[in-house]
Structure 1
Amino acid sequence: MKTNSTTAKVKALLLAMLLVFGQFYSQIQNGSVGINTSSPNVNSVLDVVSGSNNKGILIPRLTETQRNAIVINRPQDDGLTIYNITEDCLNYWSLADNEWKSVCGQLGKAVFTVDCSNTKAMGTYVKGRDLTTSNYLDISVNVTKIGNYTISGTTINGYNFYGTGTFLNTGTQTIQVTGQGTPQNVQTDDVSLSANGNAVTCTPAVSVNVLSPAGSYTMSCGSAIANGVYKVGTALNSSNTITLPVNVASLGSYTITTNTVDGISFRGSGTFTSTGNQNITLNGTGTPSSTAVKTITITSDSQGGVPTTCNVNIIVVIPKKTVLHIGLETAYGYSAFTGPSRSLMDSPTNFGTTASSIVKYEGFTHTSLGNSPSSAALQTALNAKPDIVIIGYSYTPNATDAGYLASYLNRKGIVIALTDDTGTAQNLFRAIFSDPTISTSNGSGAGSVYALSNTDDPILNGPFGDVRGKNWGEDASTTINISGLTSGFIPYSYAQPINSTTARTGISGLRNSSLNFVWFGDGGFLSNENANGNPYSSNTIEPFVAPSSGGYFPVQKATYGSAGNGYSAGGMQVQNSILFANMIAWAVKQAEFSGINTQ
């Protein structure tokens, strides 16, 4: 009896506790279970209420590895739900797709690291000036799992950065996180980075230099200098800058930017600490996409209504070109395959990739046919499409050869012909100008000096000097004159020497106005037997001068010419080497932008 009584009491106590517990924690009504509610939602199996509105519900929390270790029973586990603590998101098993899905998006949260060394703040930051689309964090990341990302950067100076998106590929990539707000103080701010909710520590920190409001200054664009070498496909570096002179009227910050042309741009910012004339540096960025000359527009933020834009040109290195030489291969350099004329072409002082090179150019590939190639050999060589052909003493093309050269010119080839044979010149001109009435004649002899025209022309006035109104000199033989031309050419010099009273008619030097053809009537135009390019001692032969001591830079021969017509022997100056260097500079440009290999 005693035992039964005790058992009854225990059962009664348990029933009472269950009733109390049930009243407080749950109610079952119409098949629905409620926790902390006496009226569970009839459409739910379980209705959970936070009694004090300060608690939530926790479901199983698993890492992604633990989640993937679950052995799925596909029919029965459709909709199985866990909280993925690796990506901080609810996941569920989808029978239809036979995979785990994330409620944060189909891809879920990305996994990536931030490369602090390649992360920087872009744009200019000025006290009191709202940030614009030019103000952003340029962030390099390495993505190991595709998915969604959120990146923020905060400062304590009135502005911040925020960006969100989706990585669709793994690997290294760069994203832009836009800025917003208004800097409040002039100072250097460290940016606190966060990636998908996790703090990113950068040492040193990504920093922003907030400038004072802009000062007043004027730019001296005509004196701006582009520094460094620019090459297609090569990213600009610290040597690629623009030195810009300015005159500061009132102190303050400056921000100077340029447009982007063919992939490159420049910018510079800072604070003026003194007034007056001074230089500032604009740093380049980007990679040139073409060899075209780039007209860069510079824009400043100067206050006070002063001019705020101007232009500067950026020259890009031209790739290497092939040159076919025809003529004697001797120390005199008749065809520029040998001698000082070849040294002039190959000198990086003249044609090179250094910052000081006169023509920014990768150099030449030289080939030669010698002095007497067969017509078949000439045709084969021209069909290979050399960029430039240089003809010198004593090559004598027949009518067939001249036709091949004319065809090459009509296909945008370039020919520089320096010849002093009447038959050769006549064959060339009749073929090139398609005029059988053109004739040639012998002119004056060794030491003759011819006046150059004042025409504004890239060969008379080129990167190696302005020789308009000056002279060129005949070598040891006899000048050839052309007669019968009526149009289609630009005359450089006529048949009458300045140091002769014997009347001569015709033309002794010219450029075709539609084809890439330059001619002077002297096969020894480039003659100089001194390997060092110094002036040869004679006043009547070897007019070419390009001293090795100056990097084979072309200079005039200061004492030249035979006596006559009031001139003493050696009393004139001739510019053969400068003319030739300008011819080559012109030919390189034509080959790059309008040559046989640009078609």
Structure 2
Amino acid sequence: MMKTKFTTPRIKVLLLALLLLFGKFYSQTHNGAVGINTTAPNANSVLDVVSGNNNKGMLIPRLTEAQRDAIIINKPTDDGLTIYNTTEDCFNYWSLTDNEWKSVCGQLGKAVFTIDCSSSKAMGSYVKGKELTNSHYLSISVNVTKLGNYTVSGTTSNGYNFYGTGVFLNTGIQTIQVLGQGTPQNIQTDTVALNANGTDVNCTPPISISVLSPAGTYTMACGSATVNGVYKVGTALTASNTITLPVNVSALGSYTITTNTVDGISFKGSGTFTATGNQNITLGGTGTPTSTSVKTITITSDSQGGVSTTCSVNVIVVIPKKNILHLGLETAYGYSAYTGPSRSLMDSPTNFGTTASSIVKYEGFNHISLGNSPSSTALQTALNNKPDIVIIGYNYTPNATDAGYIASYLNKKGVVIALTDDTASAQNLFRGIFSDPTISTAYGAGAGSVYALANSDDPILNGPFGDVRGKNWGEDASTTVSVSGLTSGFTPYSYAQPINSTTSRTGISGLRNTSLNFIWFGDGGFLSNENANGNQYSSNTIEPFVAPSSGGYFPVQKSAYGYAGNGYSTGGMQVQNSILFANMIAWAIKQAEFSGINTQ
């Protein structure tokens, strides 16, 4: 047999021939087009790549974002340079027009952000065997440093998980909701494993969720519920803002109690009943009040067994400060509440304040006084400045012009509390306010007269400082004025006939206008008490106002008042002037806030 010896040059020639043959088989060039795995490349393409078995793709250079940014761009020649960005999982190309790398993934690509574990939490109550709804989600706080798409998931080992995806259109700190799905299988505390854009997030401590047992059977006693804490517009609720809700449990189990959201705030509570019978549970508040309106909160429970599962409570929000214009003598007696115990009653946080125990939740007053005898021009200027409330006391005597200014102020929704005992000025006021020239006034009984109050349900007679329906008020040292000729548009509080007098008198000695914010009593010394500490003055016929400093100037009745007559002994009656006045101020604050001259 002949042996053939291949020399090196011959091997090179053979390899070259095979290479040419291989290239001809896998690639053909036609009119400048190169084809791979095709003999007929597309004439309009430079390169036409075909997957022979339709089971392969093509890879272009894969770079991280840092590696991409390290490329030194030659602007005139690199327009359209393309890479695959492994950081954002997207193709990028260099744009000469925009002078930057552009993403083809919706022009945004994958976002870059961090999760603030301390501000992230699970929302909703989780109960064994109860499928999750839209109220079950993770509230995740993130700090976005690069716009783009995000995917956040949270997993547990207890039959339910969380998943959310979206697009960050702004950088900075923001909160996203990652909805839950599934059904908790076991009663236990679950740890949520977070993942953000494919990367595990390790939170210390982790977000945890307590899965409760199925709901028990219980009834709520909303009528005995207590709303705790102070609520103020623009101030976020804290741990002190709660509702204490009495319940009566008849069958053990878990409970989940929620409320609707009203003007930015809501409440919720959950747990497990370990005993039957009467007990209290606490609902924690969240949110920020957006208005001073009284909020009727609807409470909904998950109680089983066909019992009522809804009821409601009212939440009171602190009302902002109001401007008070005082007209009257500035003496120790406190006739117009600019001085004396009547002023102390108004300024006491026990009565009107922002503490949890304040009777009326209110930020206080700005007091302005024009004294006893302001000019008509001064009065007009002061009223044009739109004070929220005007208080008139002894012995301010408005003439017809002044009465017209006050009537105009009332018609613009101003609030007036008038305590006057001069017939001419009272007549001016009533004729101007009621637009009736036939209204008349008259003097009646004198110092120590006691007048019965109406027994109607009214915010002045039955207000936050006490129920004085059917009780009395007392005339100070002067003579009571009564008004006659009124036919409609008012609520009478008292009439001209004292209970301790047999002399017949007609007319009205106290009233409230039903269409304007106007209250009147026919005694300029209605608030009189010269004791700075507000204690009861010793006389039975003068100074009927009582609000002791030892009680935070809380209003109380004067326990011994009135002259003898009509079966009553000297000092044998009780009068409620201070309680009436405190109820008037509470009413005036509410009117000024919700239906006043400065109401927005």
**Cα distance in 1, alignment partners of residues 396 and 515 from structure 2:** 25
Instruction: Please state whether the residue corresponding to 1:425 is helix, strand or coil.
Output: helix
- 1:287 and 2:294 matched: no
Partner of 2:416 in structure 1?
415
CA contact (8 A) 1:125 1:209 kept: yes
Partner of 1:67 in structure 2?
68
For 2:62, give the aligned amino acid.
Answer: R
Instruction: Please state whether the residue corresponding to 1:322 is helix, strand or coil.
Output: strand
Q: CA deviation at 1:285?
A: 1.1
Q: CA deviation at 1:67?
A: 1.9
Residue by residue, what CA displacement relative to the aligned partner does 1:296-331 show, whole Å, maximum 9, x if unpaired? 111111111110111111111111100000001011
CA contact (8 A) 2:41 2:48 kept: no
Instruction: Please state whether the residue corresponding to 2:9 is helix, strand or coil.
Output: helix
Q: CA deviation at 1:224?
A: 1.1
Q: CA deviation at 1:14?
A: 4.0
For 2:457, give the aligned amino acid.
Answer: D
Out of 574-583 and 259-268, give the one that drifted further.
259-268
**Cα distance in 2, alignment partners of residues 40 and 364 from structure 1:** 94
Q: Give the direction of change, closer, same or farther, for the CA distance of 1:150–1:50 in structure 2 (3 Å limit).
A: farther
Q: CA deviation at 1:95?
A: 5.3
Q: Please list, as runs of the form range in 1=range in 2, the aligned pairs for 1:488-567 lying within 5 A after superposition.
A: 488-567=489-568
Query: Structure 1: where are the runs of 5+ without partners?
Result: none
Partner of 1:358 in structure 2?
359
**Cα distance in 1, alignment partners of residues 451 and 206 from structure 2:** 69
Q: CA deviation at 1:512?
A: 1.1
CA contact (8 A) 1:50 1:56 kept: no
Q: CA deviation at 1:346?
A: 0.5
Residue by residue, what CA displacement relative to the aligned partner does 1:539-585 show, whole Å, maximum 9, x if unpaired? 11111000111111000011111111111111110000000000000
Q: CA deviation at 1:85?
A: 3.0
Q: CA deviation at 1:6?
A: 4.1
Partner of 1:189 in structure 2?
190
**Cα distance in 2, alignment partners of residues 8 and 73 from structure 1:** 44
Partner of 1:238 in structure 2?
239
- 1:144 and 2:145 matched: yes
For 1:492, give the aligned amino acid.
Answer: Y
**Cα distance in 2, alignment partners of residues 212 and 251 from structure 1:** 9
**Cα distance in 1, alignment partners of residues 25 and 93 from structure 2:** 27
For 2:529, give the aligned amino acid.
Answer: N
**Cα distance in 1, alignment partners of residues 275 and 109 from structure 2:** 55
Instruction: Please state whether the residue corresponding to 1:535 is helix, strand or coil.
Output: coil
Q: Please list, as runs of the form range in 1=range in 2, the aligned pairs for 1:216-365 lying within 5 A after superposition.
A: 216-365=217-366
Instruction: Please state whether the residue corresponding to 2:26 is helix, strand or coil.
Output: strand
Partner of 1:379 in structure 2?
380
Partner of 1:589 in structure 2?
590
**Cα distance in 1, alignment partners of residues 108 and 273 from structure 2:** 50
**Cα distance in 1, alignment partners of residues 124 and 40 from structure 2:** 56
Out of 123-132 and 373-382, give the one that drifted further.
123-132
Q: CA deviation at 1:498?
A: 0.7
Q: Give the direction of change, closer, same or farther, for the CA distance of 1:375–1:156 in structure 2 (3 Å limit).
A: same
Residue by residue, what CA displacement relative to the aligned partner does 1:421-460 show, whole Å, maximum 9, x if unpaired? 1111111111111122222211111111110010111000
Partner of 1:162 in structure 2?
163
Partner of 2:435 in structure 1?
434
CA contact (8 A) 2:38 2:50 kept: no
For 1:227, give the aligned amino acid.
Answer: N
Q: CA deviation at 1:149?
A: 0.7
For 2:316, give the aligned amino acid.
Answer: I
TM-score (norm 2): 0.94
Q: Please list, as runs of the form range in 1=range in 2, the aligned pairs for 1:108-127 lying within 5 A after superposition.
A: 108-127=109-128
For 1:322, give the aligned amino acid.
Answer: N
Partner of 1:27 in structure 2?
26
**Cα distance in 2, alignment partners of residues 191 and 16 from structure 1:** 64
Q: Give the direction of change, closer, same or farther, for the CA distance of 1:559–1:93 in structure 2 (3 Å limit).
A: same
For 1:258, give the aligned amino acid.
Answer: T
Q: Give the direction of change, closer, same or farther, for the CA distance of 1:5–1:302 in structure 2 (3 Å limit).
A: closer
CA contact (8 A) 1:41 1:47 kept: no
CA contact (8 A) 1:40 1:46 kept: no
Residue by residue, what CA displacement relative to the aligned partner does 1:19-78 show, whole Å, maximum 9, x if unpaired? 89x59x98224568788xx6578448364769997x876533333243234344456434
Number of equivalenced pairs: 591
Q: CA deviation at 1:90?
A: 2.4
Residue by residue, what CA displacement relative to the aligned partner does 1:58-108 show, whole Å, maximum 9, x if unpaired? 533333243234344456434422122332322123456554232332111
CA contact (8 A) 1:116 1:140 kept: yes
**Cα distance in 2, alignment partners of residues 89 and 315 from structure 1:** 54
Instruction: Please state whether the residue corresponding to 1:285 is helix, strand or coil.
Output: strand
For 2:216, give the aligned amino acid.
Answer: G
Partner of 1:481 in structure 2?
482
Partner of 1:201 in structure 2?
202
**Cα distance in 1, alignment partners of residues 140 and 25 from structure 2:** 52
- 1:91 and 2:92 matched: yes
Residue by residue, what CA displacement relative to the aligned partner does 1:202-234 show, whole Å, maximum 9, x if unpaired? 111011111111111111111111111111111
Instruction: Please state whether the residue corresponding to 1:318 is helix, strand or coil.
Output: coil
Residue by residue, what CA displacement relative to the aligned partner does 1:148-168 show, whole Å, maximum 9, x if unpaired? 111111111111111111111
For 1:187, give the aligned amino acid.
Answer: Q
**Cα distance in 1, alignment partners of residues 6 and 503 from structure 2:** 155
Q: Give the direction of change, closer, same or farther, for the CA distance of 1:243–1:50 in structure 2 (3 Å limit).
A: farther
Out of 93-102 and 136-145, give the one that drifted further.
93-102
**Cα distance in 2, alignment partners of residues 155 and 201 from structure 1:** 14
**Cα distance in 1, alignment partners of residues 592 and 340 from structure 2:** 24
CA contact (8 A) 1:40 1:47 kept: no
Out of 574-583 and 189-198, give the one that drifted further.
189-198
For 1:409, give the aligned amino acid.
Answer: L
For 1:445, give the aligned amino acid.
Answer: G
**Cα distance in 2, alignment partners of residues 225 and 28 from structure 1:** 85
CA contact (8 A) 1:33 1:40 kept: no
CA contact (8 A) 2:153 2:162 kept: yes
**Cα distance in 2, alignment partners of residues 26 and 268 from structure 1:** 76
Residue by residue, what CA displacement relative to the aligned partner does 1:92-126 show, whole Å, maximum 9, x if unpaired? 23456554232332111111111111111111111
CA contact (8 A) 1:323 1:367 kept: yes
**Cα distance in 2, alignment partners of residues 40 and 63 from structure 1:** 36
For 2:347, give the aligned amino acid.
Answer: D
Q: Give the direction of change, closer, same or farther, for the CA distance of 1:29–1:17 in structure 2 (3 Å limit).
A: closer
Instruction: Please state whether the residue corresponding to 1:577 is helix, strand or coil.
Output: helix
Out of 71-80 and 213-222, give the one that drifted further.
71-80
Q: CA deviation at 1:17?
A: 7.5
TM-score (norm 1): 0.94
Instruction: Please state whether the residue corresponding to 1:409 is helix, strand or coil.
Output: helix
Partner of 2:401 in structure 1?
400
**Cα distance in 1, alignment partners of residues 279 and 52 from structure 2:** 70
**Cα distance in 2, alignment partners of residues 387 and 572 from structure 1:** 35
For 1:168, give the aligned amino acid.
Answer: L
Partner of 1:452 in structure 2?
453
Instruction: Please state whether the residue corresponding to 2:580 is helix, strand or coil.
Output: helix
Percentage of identical aligned residues: 81
CA contact (8 A) 1:263 1:288 kept: yes
For 1:351, give the aligned amino acid.
Answer: F
Instruction: Please state whether the residue corresponding to 1:586 is helix, strand or coil.
Output: helix
Instruction: Please state whether the residue corresponding to 1:334 is helix, strand or coil.
Output: coil
Query: Structure 2: where are the runs of 5+ without partners?
Result: none
**Cα distance in 2, alignment partners of residues 40 and 297 from structure 1:** 76
Partner of 1:472 in structure 2?
473
**Cα distance in 1, alignment partners of residues 393 and 468 from structure 2:** 22
